[in-house]
Amino acid sequence: MTAVILATACAIVYGTADFCGGLATRRSRVLSVVTLSQIAGLALILAMLPFLPGVFSEGAIVWGLGAGVAGAAGLVLFYRALATGVMSVVAPTTAVTSAALPVLFGLASGERPEVMALAGVGLALLAVLLVSRSPAKEQRSSASSIVAALAAGAGFGGFFVLLAQAPDESGLWPLVGARLASVTMVVLVAVVTRRSLRPGEGALGIIAVAGLLDMAANVLFLLAQQHGMLSLVAVLVSLYPASTLVLARYVLGERLHAVQVAGVAFALGAVALIAVA
């Protein structure tokens, strides 16, 4: 039950971070938002190290670095897929892939959830597919954008898988390695593409909040996977788009489509099934 609570809280915080990041991109360039929010997250994790100490080890840093590279690569590929494809196809393809990969890895590595929990996993994957869809008149997407979306999902899923491989006694050190790797990658992209990282007027605050919440969610994920199976924790965490949608509905007044409402309902059902298993 502890893992379910932590993973559900993680999904809510991730979704809130994405909501804040989305607001920030209305005032600043995407690369600026990504880079500055990553730096804010790095500052938070360094500040938290004395309060949640762990054992520093080569394994903790190496697995963290690998997770950071996978996550940053996933982000770059995701934006590339969005630029060349249709969002209503790219987003759910990426989301389901990122959710399915840790589940498959967990099952392949010997995890055996109960039947009811597996039913919750299936319902959660369906929920991720539904809440990630957005209406579009044109539903065709190029083969290259689909491949990029699948690769992006693999990157996001790989982030969870690699982070979970770090020794349990590592504390927050894997996240330090992950954030160092991701910050380095996005800064290199900015330098190579000659993009300005200067935030838009009044956007720095919301960018910082997005980065702090994202890192807080990462901490919750680490704690959750230490208390439960990766195949269950990761799929619950992948329900984060549901909280983003709810915030968009009640904070911005955006309209939710029937398929997305159904996805939110399925997400709640998935949490319930996994919790009682």
From first to last of its 277 residues, what are the pLDDT tens digits of the chain? Answer: 789 999 999 999 998 998 898 888 888 888 888 889 999 999 999 999 988 878 899 999 999 999 999 988 888 788 778 667 766 677 778 888 888 899 899 989 998 888 999 999 999 989 988 888 776 555 555 778 788 889 988 999 999 999 999 998 898 999 999 999 999 988 888 888 888 888 888 889 999 999 999 999 999 999 999 888 998 999 999 888 888 888 888 888 888 888 888 888 999 899 988 888 6
pLDDT digits (tens, 9 = 90+) for 43-75: 999 999 988 878 899 999 999 999 999 988 888
Contacts of 143 (CB under 8 A, 6+ apart): none
Give the pTM: 0.87
Q: What is the DSSP letter of 137?
A: S
In the chain, DSSP assigns E strands to: none
Separation of alpha carbons 3 and 275, rounded Å: 9
CA-CA distance, 132 to 92, in Å (whole number)?
5
Convert 203-227 into a string of H (helix), E (strand) and C (coil): CHHHHHHHHHHHHHHHHHHHHHHHH
Instruction: Quote the crossing angle between the two packed helices 143-164 and 173-193, to the nearest 10°.
Output: 150
At 137 the pLDDT is: 54
